[in-house]
Amino acid sequence: MTSCGKKAPKLGVHPIDDVIAAMSLEEKASFVVGTERMKTTPPDRAPGMPVREMFSPELKEKLMQCETQEEAMELMIATSLVEGRVQGAAGQHYALDRLGIEPIVYADGPAGLRIDPTRKDDADEYYCTAFPVGVSLSSSWDVELVNEVTRAMGNEVLEYGADVLLAPGINIHRSPLCGRNFEYYSEDPLLAGKIASAYIKGIQSNGVGVSLKHYAVNNQETCRNGVDARLSERALREIYLKGFEIAVKESQPWTIMSSYNKINGTLASENYHTLTEILRDDWGFEGFVMTDWWAEENGARQIAAGNDLQMPGTLHQYEEIYNGVKDGSLDEKTLDQSIRRIMNIMLKTPTYRHYAYSNKPDLGAHAKVTRQAATDGMVLLKNVQKSLPLDSKARVALFGTASYDLLVGGSGSGNVNRKYKVSLDEGLKNAGVELEDNLTKVYKDYTSAERAKMPTENFWSVPVIPEMPLDKALVKNALSKSTVAILTLSRMAGEGGDRHVVKGDYLLSDVEEQNLKLVCQTAHAMGKKVILVLNLGGIVDLTQFVALPDAILHAWMGGQEMGNSLADVLMGKVNPSGKLPLTWALRYSDYPSAGNFPLSDGDSAYVRYAEDVMVGYRHFNTQGIKVLYPFGYGLSYTTFAYNNLIIDVLGEQIKVSADITNTGKVAGREVVQLYVGKPSVDGLLMPAKELKAFTKTKLLNPGETQTVEMIVPCSELATWMEAENKWNVASGEYTISVAANVEDVRLKGVATL
């Protein structure tokens, strides 16, 4: 009962506006600030960001009593876990019983649901499926596949009792060194936006929500909390926001997560321009915005800008919002609007639908989905004299520690607590392939001895077994008893840090280089072939080494069934059809961002996006710079011919069709890309080609033809005009290229607008 004796209205029973009208200011400020308040480690601060009290007094005292750093770290990690309804979820909403406000649950994302797999005094298990990472999904260029994966993933969100999955992450690969590129999709916003739309639709088809992240211009981890990304409005609109725009318009995510960084001097979570003027006024976003975890400078400013929920919530935010309304600097109507947006979404959640979740999703069925999905994203980079697929009678000498301990996902919030993972030796054995036993035993003994010495995995770090140095006798002996060598090379990555151009990271380590050379030289001297498998969430500098192996398969981080998926492709059960969602340059310094990454000026926490819209292939292709592998590149075990280009300008759209024929000997699928070259307006520099549509054929049998159709809305050909502050579609001739990759144009025509 309220003080005046009237019963309080309840959310879900009474109209939202009645509930808001019944809320005290304390309740309103509590409602828009998550439950965590003061507990754990906020992300790395850029210079100038406020220094906050990180720990509660109780935790501080306990930390003082820890004897080792590891003990302290474990305590911090343990205290950061939400012990709410779904343990290990990233955050929970503030409950207000009086008003029927129940705590809805937010959990990571994006390669599967991230929750604690076991619970104290509970014999049940809560493992989730580790699906392929983001860059593997986008390499499939297959929106139907992504939708299938995320229908399964969203079912786990629903059945484990969470309401919103904190995914997908779609920030642009501005630099190959960004530590979270494995979670993100591409250097191209159209590919990122289309994959994200399919992802969002798949998850939300389960009646649970997503949080499309990290909005926006969050292209690095260095100084991530507050680094200032300085860029033109044109680059912002055409490159860094475009993927978000596509995803919002096509799939209306329930929520969006703002990012830690500043955009042209203003924090993304306090940025009225991006959060209100663009996201809501221009694009018509209907959901609510939450902060990334502990992204905060001023809670009142966040609400005023249109950042509705502050997660996981700090005391400062609560106080600033409360005081802001009291002193008139924050309009209470603006706060009410944020509350209304959140409540609108809350009412759609399983929590409010009182969904009786089972805690028993069909993990067996989902394992099949992830097994197939990982194969769809694998990119065949090289295949001399049809080295792949392997003969069914192949006897394999399996090299590389990662072959026996594949990295199936990255670290940080994107790491899924899976029940198991399939290594490549297991995958090959499951496929009936004979391995050279002595070599396998040497590797297995080595990996188990090394693993025993290593620290256990935690949120920030998934320790990786160091590469085992090979000696000549072992290699020779193993190859003498085998028909072919497979060597796997891996890299871990995760949030909280960027990669570096050093040996063992962007460059191969000395041991990796020596092993690769030794295996290739020995195998070739014996007339045997070497297959290099790449198990990375991004790329490494391979320029010096591509000539060595006979075939190279980029398998990314393919989720828990990765060993089986790899065997499917290596043995030819599945014909690879993935293509690169990024440009693989000859050297790091060729990337247009290289001079301004991660910071532009020593210790000052800002980055100039000097390359403007010329990101990735837009730069390389326009300047004619030679690359190792171009954007959109990928081979198949078969070949395809492109014929009969038809271009129709139909009112507000351009319709393009072409015939794709399988001209090889095995069935396969082809990713078909449509690039447009725009006429210049007002002397602005235009990329020579921009991806404006793509499609993937069905599985085509040898000799079979499919007519594919791609539609480009004319509005998507617009250029952002800085001076006029608006989009402009120029009249003139647009070149249309139907291509197998950005450099391999198969059919060319013109559309006149």
Instruction: Give the interface with ligand BGC as residue ranges (CB under 6 A).
Output: 43, 90, 108-109, 166, 213, 292-293, 413, 495
Nearer to ligand BGC by C-beta: 11 or 492?
A: 492
Query: Are β-strands 551-554 and 379-383 bridged in parallel, bridged antiparallel, or unpaired?
Result: antiparallel
Q: Which ranges constitute the DSSP H helices of 81-224?
A: 134-139, 143-159, 189-204
Residue type, 148: E
- Least separation in angstroms between residue 274's CB and ligand BGC is 17
- Least separation in angstroms between residue 216's CB and ligand BGC is 13
Contact 599, 564 (CB under 8 A): no
- Least separation in angstroms between residue 436's CB and ligand BGC is 42
Residues 20, 26, 30, 33, CA torsion sign: positive
C-alpha span between 164 and 90 (Å, rounded): 10
- Least separation in angstroms between residue 492's CB and ligand BGC is 17
First to last CA, the chain: 66
- Least separation in angstroms between residue 169's CB and ligand BGC is 6
Nearer to ligand BGC by C-beta: 136 or 447?
A: 136
Nearer to ligand BGC by C-beta: 41 or 604?
A: 41
Which neighbouring-strand residues pair with 712?
Answer: 654
- Least separation in angstroms between residue 412's CB and ligand BGC is 7
The DSSP result for 712-740, as a single string, is EEGGGG-EEETTTTEEE---SEEEEEEEE
Q: Tell the residue number behind the tokens 């320029």, with chain if given.
A: 543
C-alpha span between 575 and 380 (Å, rounded): 9
The DSSP result for 302-351, as a single string, is HHHHT--BBSS--HHHHHHHHHHHHHTSS-HHHHHHHHHHHHHHHTTSHH
Report the candidate in 373, 322, 461 with the shortest Cα–Cα distance to residue 33. Answer: 322
Nearer to ligand BGC by C-beta: 164 or 654?
A: 164
Nearer to ligand BGC by C-beta: 224 or 421?
A: 224
Contact 605, 48 (CB under 8 A): yes
Contact 552, 414 (CB under 8 A): no
Nearer to ligand BGC by C-beta: 425 or 495?
A: 495
Contact 374, 555 (CB under 8 A): yes
Contact 608, 167 (CB under 8 A): no
Report the candidate in 135, 641, 84, 75 with the shortest Cα–Cα distance to residue 312. Answer: 84
238 three-class SS? helix
Tokens of 384: 């001399």
Nearer to ligand BGC by C-beta: 159 or 495?
A: 495
Nearer to ligand BGC by C-beta: 193 or 414?
A: 414
- Least separation in angstroms between residue 231's CB and ligand BGC is 21
- Least separation in angstroms between residue 105's CB and ligand BGC is 12
Nearer to ligand BGC by C-beta: 310 or 413?
A: 413
Question: What length is written for the chain?
Answer: 753
- Least separation in angstroms between residue 110's CB and ligand BGC is 8
C-alpha span between 225 and 261 (Å, rounded): 5
Nearer to ligand BGC by C-beta: 156 or 611?
A: 156
- Least separation in angstroms between residue 261's CB and ligand BGC is 11
C-alpha span between 480 and 436 (Å, rounded): 10
C-alpha span between 132 and 372 (Å, rounded): 10
- Least separation in angstroms between residue 367's CB and ligand BGC is 25
Half-sphere exposure of 649 (CA within 13 A, CB side): 14
Nearer to ligand BGC by C-beta: 220 or 577?
A: 220
C-beta neighbour count of 748 within 10 angstroms: 14
- Least separation in angstroms between residue 21's CB and ligand BGC is 32
Cβ contacts of 281 within 8 Å, gap of 6 or more = none
Q: Tell the residue number behind the tokens 């049809």, with chain if given.
A: 386
Nearer to ligand BGC by C-beta: 389 or 409?
A: 409
Residue type, 339: I
C-beta neighbour count of 500 within 10 angstroms: 14
Contact 532, 520 (CB under 8 A): no
Contact 219, 229 (CB under 8 A): yes
Cβ contacts of 543 within 8 Å, gap of 6 or more = 586, 587, 628
C-alpha span between 122 and 679 (Å, rounded): 64
677 phi, psi to nearest 5 deg: -105, 125
Report the candidate in 488, 288, 281 with the shortest Cα–Cα distance to residue 404. Answer: 488
Spot the catalytic one: 292, 376, 550, 568. 292
Is 228 one of the annotated active-site residues of the chain? Answer: no
Active site residues: 292
